[in-house]
Structure 1
Amino acid sequence: MTRPLWLQQVQLLTGPGQPLHRADALIDASGALLSWGEPAGQQAEALGLSPTAAQGWLLAPMLVDPHSALEQPWDGRAENLTSLAAAAAAGGYGTVALLPWSSPWRDRPERLNLSFNLNPPGLEPLALERWGSFSLEGGDQELAPHADQITAGAIGLACHDQLPPLALLERGLLLGEMGPRPVLVAPRDGSLTGGGFVREGVDALRAGWPPDPVLSETLPLQSLLTLAASRSEAALRLMNLSTAAGVALLRAAQHRPLASVSWWHLLADSSNLDPTAEGWRLHPSLGTADDRHALITALADGVLTAVAVHHLPLDAEEQLLPLDQRRPGLAGHGAPRGLVLPLLWQELVGCRSWPVEQLWQALSWGGSALLGLPPEQLRVGSRRWLLFDPQQQWAWEPSHSLSHAANQPLGGRTIQGGVRATGLTPADHWSLSPPAPLSG
């Protein structure tokens, strides 16, 4: 694209607390948002531009992923910084916060340095936040140097994918070297799973999957809620709640920490996922239909704060292992028009009549709150915007993915809804063909 883009009567969502409305918008050839509203149309006409009909499209702030993993940022076979940045931006994400889960473990200042040219010259970079580690090497035996990591730029501190010893957790919170920065903890006890990897329920029993009891989440969650109440000065965050029982405990808590939920737990459960499909092997375990509906309800009413992609890519060799021997995880960044936004739009806006603003609270502004960052919003001169078409239909094949991960779900499926453009992707990658006719 060599000339500015004039979007005529696009649906516009500028930021939290602002109503969705229709207006013209003008974007320059470099991807910067020049103006919107009446000034945009006047400026476009003065430049002699032809309008792009965008009545069915949405121009909105970028999404925020509060936690994902990148184990080998430089030479990873499943993912590296370049592929992650390209995939996340194409899917509408402007911020990705990386967990310290890597080799070597990112638990000290020199290991937190992930500076890299994530975008082509002239493009505003993806905001790559880094979680520091709560314990040395993620081993849950000794505290990592918390203050040093925060000074080096860590957004906060994160534990591994299960609850560390409570004595260690309480000691770290009591020392308070992280100050007001968030501490991310998973309410999961691996010793209570009994080797199961699908949440206990009728469907898991019928399919013959090893069941993971609900207690593996609720018992550690009870401990965390007690600790949060006694250490109210600490910014404790709960990572990936996954059960209806866990939601009930969090809802009843007087001091309720901010909590995330994985996008896949909002879409898939043990009653609706094909036994041969990707997406069964996860931490925390995939739940029942009741679990999924409880998570959606809790997200709608604010008991849960944010939706995380929790991207955990596996390479092709790992993916060949039997399901019970494979490392748990699912890749969510990769599809060239995004997976998380289109699928959750269909589930929550399309099927459950959520307002668009409520979806953005879950996918963008809630993630910013969990990370302790200001909420995303449209600004003149900024490239932090996305253009989404809920009616666009496209065939999703992982072979066309921007990610190298072998554990990407829903391959071969036709997806409705796609990210047509973002300010963080080159203009020659934008998909600006006329929108499909709106149904109804």
Structure 2
Amino acid sequence: MPSEILIRPLWLHQVQLLAGPGQAMVTGDALIDTDGALLAWGEEATRQAASLELSPTSAEGWLLAPSLVDPHSVLEQPLGGRAEDLDSLAAAAAAGGYGTVGLLPWATPWRDRPERLGLRWPAPMALALWGSFSQEGADQELAAHRDQLDAGAIGLACSDQTPPLALLERGLLLAEMGSQPVLVAPRDASLTGGGFVRESVEALRAGWPPDPVLSETLPLQGLLTLAELRPAVKLVLMNLSTAAGTALVRQARRRPQATVGWWHLLADSGNLDPTAEGWRLRPSLGSPEDREGLILGLAEGVITAVAVHHLPLDAEEQLLPLDQRRPGLAGHHGLVLPLLWQELVQARGWPVERLWQALSWGGSELLGRGPEQLSPGSRRWLLFDPHHAWTWEPEQSPSQAANHPLAGQTIRGGVRASGLLPATQWRL
């Protein structure tokens, strides 16, 4: 149940603490103010709590760690959107422990001009806006790169497929982006053949239209060549989705940074129920071998960060047949961290630090920001309980999206509290 209004500081006793990158996880106490600010941890927290005559809250097995970072997601209508708006996205992200979300320029109107880059969230939430590589995302003419970056864009992003290499090369040669990233999807829509599940034995058995691996690997080869020829440009690969693509990046002489969508690490054409939500994605959902290859690439650092790539659909669009529906999946509110914790930490034995590298610090690095870390006075922290069991009911989520996966299922692990949320929403 949600907590009552916090009238005295919260004393967490024997919580696991992960302060930041390069720091070992330790067990100790933490003290949190009534407004959600982290006051102290370790012996200093114990001393201050004792001086205030507080009663401790047992937090054994819980984790206090920096907030998460989503390097790219989609918000098409920030004001009055039927599927999601700026406020509902912020609330959903905060509930899932995400303190920073990078927004792609994919919107109506397309965010390719300085005057369209004025979106903000109140502190402690942070909104990072990608500018557009081409005008209207049409891959015909270059957008005004320097104007967008001067207006606050954190980098330049293309659409959901690789633009013509001649256009991409021209933009990289002009190099108005300087050291800021250029985000490109290694995908050629003309090679998909209309398929939307990656070609595999499992996809053929299920009767899904197959999307050949070549639709990723062929454009990826061109992008890797460009990355080698233009070493001064920070080229970033968006949403790797195949084992073959990951292997190409691993073997590259100059390896660019890359992201992977969270759902591609959890679901594949061999383990997802045919009636479940989560089949219609772009890039396409992969085979079991693809999923294993992506997880290995993430573990090795070949893939830099996990993206939520939240792409919400409204209830009306969600009623369309699968092959007529736009591809995309919603996911910020409370799903990414617990599901990846169970898959990577519990099932595969990943250290917690490696998971945070994938979900937080890698995203900060990609966005050109300093890594998230616990600091006195900060509200950018989360308290995660890996054993908390709860039922996922999308209608109870602040997100308005209708295309969340796993509705009605029991989820193990949850964010108990966060400085991103008001204390009335904490579950202690």
How many Å separate the matches in 2 of 1:254 and 1:324?
39
CA contact (8 A) 2:103 2:130 kept: yes
How many Å separate the matches in 1 of 2:413 and 2:308?
18
Shift of 1:402: 1.3
1:160 aligns to what SS in structure 2? coil
Shift of 1:370: 1.0
Instruction: State the partner residue of 1:34.
Output: 39
Q: Where does 1:117-156 land on structure 2 (aligned, <5 Å)?
A: 118=121, 124-156=123-155
The superposition leaves residues 75-98 of structure 1 with CA deviations (integer Å, 9 ceiling, x where unpaired) of 100000000000001100010000
Q: Kindly indicate whether residue 312 of structure 2 is the aligned counterpart of residue 339 of structure 1.
A: no
Instruction: State the partner residue of 1:195.
Output: 194
Shift of 1:293: 0.4
User: What is the letter of the counterpart of residue 363 of structure 2?
Assistant: G
Instruction: State the partner residue of 1:164.
Output: 163
Alignment equivalent of 1:70, drawn from 64, 70, 75: 75
Instruction: State the partner residue of 1:351.
Output: 347
How many Å separate the matches in 2 of 1:271 and 1:400?
30
How many Å separate the matches in 2 of 1:2 and 1:293?
48
TM-score, normalised to structure 2, is: 0.98
Q: Structure 1 unaligned runs (5+)?
A: 433-440
The superposition leaves residues 194-215 of structure 1 with CA deviations (integer Å, 9 ceiling, x where unpaired) of 0000000011101100000000
Instruction: State the partner residue of 1:206.
Output: 205
Q: Kindly indicate whether residue 397 of structure 2 is the aligned counterpart of residue 401 of structure 1.
A: yes
Instruction: State the partner residue of 2:422.
Output: 426
User: What is the letter of the counterpart of residue 357 of structure 1?
Assistant: E
TM-score, normalised to structure 1, is: 0.96
CA contact (8 A) 2:124 2:379 kept: no
Q: Kindly indicate whether residue 115 of structure 2 is the aligned counterpart of residue 110 of structure 1.
A: yes
Instruction: State the partner residue of 1:226.
Output: 225
How many Å separate the matches in 2 of 1:168 and 1:2?
58
The number of residues matched between the two structures is 423
Q: Kindly indicate whether residue 4 of structure 2 is the aligned counterpart of residue 8 of structure 1.
A: no
How many Å separate the matches in 2 of 1:82 and 1:372?
25
Q: Kindly indicate whether residue 25 of structure 2 is the aligned counterpart of residue 20 of structure 1.
A: yes
Shift of 1:398: 1.1
The superposition leaves residues 73-120 of structure 1 with CA deviations (integer Å, 9 ceiling, x where unpaired) of 0110000000000000110001000000000000000011113xx45x
CA contact (8 A) 2:125 2:420 kept: yes
The superposition leaves residues 392-418 of structure 1 with CA deviations (integer Å, 9 ceiling, x where unpaired) of 000111111110101000001000000
1:144 aligns to what SS in structure 2? coil
Alignment equivalent of 1:55, drawn from 60, 64, 89: 60
How many Å separate the matches in 1 of 2:294 and 2:416?
29
Instruction: State the partner residue of 2:3.
Output: none
2:130 aligns to what SS in structure 1? strand
Shift of 1:271: 0.3
Shift of 1:184: 0.1
Instruction: State the partner residue of 1:391.
Output: 387
Runs of 4+ residues over 4 Å off in structure 1:
none
Instruction: State the partner residue of 2:84.
Output: 79
Q: Where does 1:363-374 land on structure 2 (aligned, <5 Å)?
A: 363-374=359-370
How many Å separate the matches in 2 of 1:133 and 1:2?
46
Q: Where does 1:205-354 land on structure 2 (aligned, <5 Å)?
A: 205-334=204-333, 338-354=334-350
Percent identity (aligned): 75
Shift of 1:125: 2.9
Instruction: State the partner residue of 1:435.
Output: none
Shift of 1:187: 0.2
User: What is the letter of the counterpart of residue 27 of structure 1?
Assistant: I
User: What is the letter of the counterpart of residue 44 of structure 2?
Assistant: P
How many Å separate the matches in 2 of 1:132 and 1:184?
10
How many Å separate the matches in 2 of 1:331 and 1:407?
6
How many Å separate the matches in 2 of 1:186 and 1:21?
39
